Amino acid sequence: MPVVVQKYGGSSVANVERIRQVADRVAHTRASGRDVVVVVSAMGDTTDELLALARQVSANPSGRELDMLLTAGERIAMALLALALNQRGVEAVSFTGSQSGIITSDSHTNARIVEVRPFRVEDELQRGKVVIVAGYQGVSYKREVTTLGRGGSDTTAVALAAALGAEACEIYSDVAGVFTSDPRVVPAARRLDEISYEEMQEMAGAGARVLNAQAVEFAKERGIVIYARASSGSDEETVVRRFPPKAPGRVVGVASETGLVLLTLGPNAAPLAPVLELLDSRGAGAKQLRYDAALGVSLVLSLENLHDYGALRAELSARFPAVALHEGLGAVSAIGAGINARFATVRECLRLLAADGILVQGLATSRFRVSLLLEQAAIDGAARLLHRELVERSF
């Protein structure tokens, strides 16, 4: 029987009423003659609430115990959904990430899936049951419980779809697919009918929340087609799959993110390696590391996956006084396959922002992306501006 993997995010299971709606949809899919694996996140803001509790009892909570704590969130959601399905007469069984065979690296709070051994999931599907799997969590080779970082339930769903040979992976959230920009910031943003893996990876990497970047990478590697839909049940969707760009050089979307810090270090100021070693030891993976002998070093830190920026800043200042930190930054990015074959898009972005009086603090390009580093307060306006001039014109 064909297998379908459905993933429901935190807002889709935020309360009992919504869990009942998800159960209805799952029961409906099961009745259509397919095996169903459901991946669930924790209810609503549970994860953030648990994190806040941890901070109240410990100034510097250990990663291992944080992971033990946070994984309780999906455990609650999955058990409730199994109960709701049983209530409807649908046989269902829930499994933790560990029980589902989600094997990860051993970096607590930000692990990566390295292998999936879904033997118990397969056994229960064969018995005709709906299988509910806790997203966002797994178990390391050292047998410790781990979590996958923000958006990790998407990765659980795609990795399971690949391991099970599923025909599709459906990602349900509170928005109906992938938009050309965040509709809350850019009202003119439109839903994309389809987007390539590469463009979706860049959108996610540049701050779009709808799909996790590692999940898209997994899907690309394994050729899994992703359907992004709203759990509210509209028929609209975005299909993420492999296809050649329709018009190379076209800007498909504008994504933005905040909470960035620009670290710079003038030429000959201090050796780079010990700075990088300190960042590594604090788990501060950086975007866009760049060094030029004539100009110096620059790199962009994201506060999102950094658990204690204050401590990092203190240690940087103490050990490397030449390091300058520019806080309160964000980035707005124009994304599209082939947009950097020439400088036309970069120049247009610089022209538009200058005409609007927006100061550009930094700029970086990759094959699929032009990213502009701006003061946080300027991000939303810049996103609307670039979306209007670069995306809406081709509507």
Residues that bind a copy of itself (CB under 8 A): 112, 114, 221-223, 242-244, 248, 262, 264, 266, 272-273, 276-277, 279-280, 285-286, 288-296, 298, 324, 326, 340-344, 346-347, 350-351, 354, 359-366, 373
Cα gap 78→71, rounded to integer Å? 11
Q: How far is the CB of 304 from a copy of itself (least distance, A)?
A: 15
Give the torsion through C-alpha atoms of 202, 206, 210, 216, to 10 deg.
30
Q: Any idea what DSSP says for residue 390? A: I
User: Which lies closer to a copy of itself via its Cβ, residue 79 or residue 350?
Assistant: 350
Helices (H), 320-387: 344-355, 379-386
Q: How far is the CB of 361 from a copy of itself (least distance, A)?
A: 5
Q: How far is the CB of 291 from a copy of itself (least distance, A)?
A: 4
The amino acid occupying position 231 is S
Q: Any idea what DSSP says for residue 388? A: I
User: Which lies closer to a copy of itself via its Cβ, residue 79 or residue 346?
Assistant: 346
Q: Which residues contact 271 (CB under 8 A, 6 or more apart)?
A: none
User: Which lies closer to a copy of itself via its Cβ, residue 11 or residue 264?
Assistant: 264
Q: How far is the CB of 229 from a copy of itself (least distance, A)?
A: 25
Closest CA relative to residue 371, chosen from 394, 355, 353, 356: 353
Q: How far is the CB of 319 from a copy of itself (least distance, A)?
A: 16
User: Is residue 72 helix, strand or coil?
Assistant: helix
Closest CA relative to residue 135, chosen from 207, 81, 89, 55: 81
* Residues forming beta bridges with residue 132, ordered by sequence position: 38, 94
User: Which lies closer to a copy of itself via its Cβ, residue 184 or residue 347?
Assistant: 347
User: Which lies closer to a copy of itself via its Cβ, residue 46 or residue 201?
Assistant: 201
Q: How far is the CB of 183 from a copy of itself (least distance, A)?
A: 28
User: Which lies closer to a copy of itself via its Cβ, residue 115 or residue 236?
Assistant: 115
Cα gap 87→102, rounded to integer Å? 28
Cα gap 368→89, rounded to integer Å? 48
Give the torsion through C-alpha atoms of 99, 101, 104, 106, to 10 deg.
40
Cα gap 152→138, rounded to integer Å? 10
Q: How far is the CB of 394 from a copy of itself (least distance, A)?
A: 17
User: Is residue 138 helix, strand or coil?
Assistant: strand
Given a contact cutoff of 8 angstroms between Cβ atoms, the answer to whether 192 and 206 are in contact is: no
Q: How far is the CB of 12 from a copy of itself (least distance, A)?
A: 29
User: Which lies closer to a copy of itself via its Cβ, residue 221 or residue 236?
Assistant: 221
The pair phi, psi for residue 238, each rounded to 5°, is -120, 130
User: Which lies closer to a copy of itself via its Cβ, residue 283 or residue 381?
Assistant: 283
User: Which lies closer to a copy of itself via its Cβ, residue 117 or residue 342?
Assistant: 342
Q: How far is the CB of 293 from a copy of itself (least distance, A)?
A: 5
Residue 360 tokens, joined: 């550009």
Q: How far is the CB of 31 from a copy of itself (least distance, A)?
A: 34
User: Which lies closer to a copy of itself via its Cβ, residue 95 or residue 197?
Assistant: 197
Q: Classify residue 383 as left (phi > 0), alpha (psi -120 to 50) or beta.
A: alpha
